[in-house]
Amino acid sequence: MLIGVLCWSALAAHAADTAWADKYPEQTKLFTGSAHQGAGLKCADCHAADPKSQPARDKKAIAEMCATCHSDVRKMNAYGLATDQLDHYKTSKHGEALFGKGDQRVAVCTDCHGIHDILKVKSPQARTYPTNIPQTCGRCHSDAALMGAYKLPADVVDKYKTSYHAKMVFEKGDLSGPTCVTCHGNHGATPPGTKEVGQVCGKCHTRQRELFGKSPHAEAAQAGLISECVGCHGNHAIQKATVELFGTACVQCHAKDPKQLALRDTISGMLRTAGARFVQAQERVRDATIRGLATDDEQLFLQEVKTQITQLEALQHTLSTNNLSLVAARAEELVSQTLKDVDRLEQIEQYKRRSLLVIWVFLSVMAFLFWAKHRQLEQKTAL
């Protein structure tokens, strides 16, 4: 009797499953291979028991439904997943609009993770895998009409794609590079305020932030007069910082301050000079190496110079010419030493040329002796 009941339940469940699959073949196909299927979920676990009923449309309901498992510590523990997503979400701009104003146009769980074909974040095909994030966010944030309603720009993803950060992730394959969520957060997505931007950038660029904190700009940033980091470097379309940035960044505020512009010129001048001298030394060492001169020590010096210049690039955030001149002076010392050494190597080549003269003199004498002997023998034969 018991066996009969068990068999009948299994059959009934199977029949129910098949009912869902028959009615919704597309969704079943998408569900196959998904993380939820792998965890043993079935259609009825999210949808109502009756396949004929409508799927959930209200985003608030979706968020709360996902949270029934994903905010339950006991359920998520075995999978090692966090359970604070909904709490974070409620603090995000998306969450505030949905839960506060009932705005159904914002993103909710399914918009970013997918509906039936949700994959683990670590899977490269997942919508939330780092290389797919810009595209996922861009579904809404590149939609001009949608963004226009919130008075938000619709070009942020395009700008990001031109940035050095995008190059890191997409061209160099360095997944530690930032995507949208690195700076904005994921579930608690909020653009960082002007006071917090520095902290976001400082997550990776620790040294630069530390040094910036020692500069006169730090106060201005605290007072909200300038945006820390973003004020000079930009945000979404950020490029690799070069000395050229001095030409465009400072005049944004100091266009009419000759004193500050003079300081700018001094600092950028130091960087330019150090860079130019390094290139000069590098080319001379390279030429000497190709010629076959012994440039081992000089190549080591060049690596040291490069170290000093990289330090300069970070140090300039302090805007203090004292530290900078020390490091610049060390770089120049090394460059001079390198160039002197290459001169010395070429001097040795000069000695070789001088000894050539000696050799020629010797050979001329020998040739003359051979010739004289030859003449002597000919005369002897003639006798």
Partner 1 sequence: MNQEKTVTRRGFLDWLLGAGLGAWAFGFVAPVISYVWPAQRRGPSIQTVSAGKAEEFPEWHSKIVAVSGHPVIVVHTPQGFRAFSAICTHLGCIVQWDAGRRQIVCPCHAGFFDINGKVISGPPPKPLPEHGVAVVNNEVLVKSS
Partner 2 sequence: MKLPVKIRGWLADRYEIGVVEKFVEQQAHKPLPQETGFWHTFGSLSLFLFINQVITGILLMIYYRPTTETAFESVRFIMTKANFGWLIRGLHAWGATLMIVCVLIHMIRTFFMGAYKKPREMTWVMGVLIFGCTVTFGFTGYLLPWNQLSYWATTVGTEITSVIPIVGVHLRTLLRGGEGVTGETLARFYVMHVVVLPWVLTGLIAVHLFLMRVQGLATMERIGEEKPIDKSKAVPFFPNHVMKEGVILCLLVGALMALIVLFPVELGEKADPFVTPEGIKPEWYFLSTYQLLKYLPKLLGILVSMIPPLLLLLWPFLDRSPERHPKKRPVAVGIGIAALFLAIVFGVLGHISERKMTFFGQKYEIDIYGVPHKHSDKTPHRGKLPR
Binding site for partner 2 (CB under 8 A): 289-296, 349, 352-353, 355-356, 359-360, 363-364, 366-367, 370-371, 373-374, 377-378, 381
CB 317 within 8 A of CB 260: no
Distance CA 186, CA 110 (A): 13
Residue number with CB closer to partner 2 (105 or 374): 374
Q: Is 372 in the site for partner 1 (CB under 8 A)?
A: yes
Pick the stretch among 75-83, 91-99, 199-207, 259-267 that binds partner 1 (CB under 8 A).
199-207
| Nearer of residues 52 and 353 to partner 2, judged by Cβ | 353
Distance between CA atoms of residues 296 and 275, nearest Å: 21
Choice from 23, 361, 369, 378 touching partner 1 (CB under 8 A)? 369
Out of partner 2, partner 1, none, what residue 205 binds, judged by CB under 5 to 8 A for its kind, is partner 1
Which residue stretches of 142-215 are H helix?
A: 144-149, 156-161, 164-166, 180-184, 197-202, 206-212
> Contact 83/73 with Cβ under 8 angstroms?
yes
| Stretch touching partner 1 by CB under 8 A, among 57-65, 227-235, 253-261, 360-368 | 360-368
Identity (one letter) of the amino acid at 230? V
Neighbours of 335 (CB within 10 A): 26
Q: What residue 306 binds from partner 2, partner 1, none (CB within 5 to 8 A, per partner kind)?
A: partner 1
Determine the size of the site formed for partner 1 (CB under 8 A).
27
Q: How far is the CB of 308 from partner 1 (least distance, A)?
A: 9
330 binds partner 1 (CB under 8 A): no
Contact range with partner 1 by CB under 8 A, out of 12-20, 78-86, 121-129, 366-374? 366-374
Residues 6+ apart with CB under 8 A from 174: 168
DSSP readout, 303-320?
A: HHHHHHHHHHHHHGGG--
Q: What is the DSSP code string of 265-285?
A: HHHHHHHHHHHHHHHHHHHHH
Task: Output the smallest distance, CB 291 to partner 1, in A.
Answer: 17
Of residues 149 and 363, the one with the C-beta less far from partner 1: 363
Cα atoms in the Cβ-side hemisphere of radius 13 Å centred on 45: 11
- Look at residue 356 and give the partner it binds from partner 2, partner 1, none, a contact being a CB closer than 5 to 8 Å depending on partner kind: partner 2
Q: At what angle do helices 258-291 and 321-382 cross, to 10 degrees?
A: 30
- Residue 340 or residue 374: which is nearer to partner 1 going by CB? 374
Closest CA to 69 of 102, 114, 39: 39
326 binds partner 1 (CB under 8 A): no
Q: Output b/e per residue, 113-132; b: 16+ Cβ within 10 A.
A: bbebbbbeeeeeebbbbbee
Q: Which residues inside 297-316 make contact with partner 1, applying CB under 8 A?
A: 297, 299-300, 303-304, 306-307, 310-311, 314
Positions that interact with partner 1 (CB under 8 A)? 174, 176, 204-208, 210, 296-297, 299-300, 303-304, 306-307, 310-311, 314, 362, 365-366, 369-370, 372-373, 376
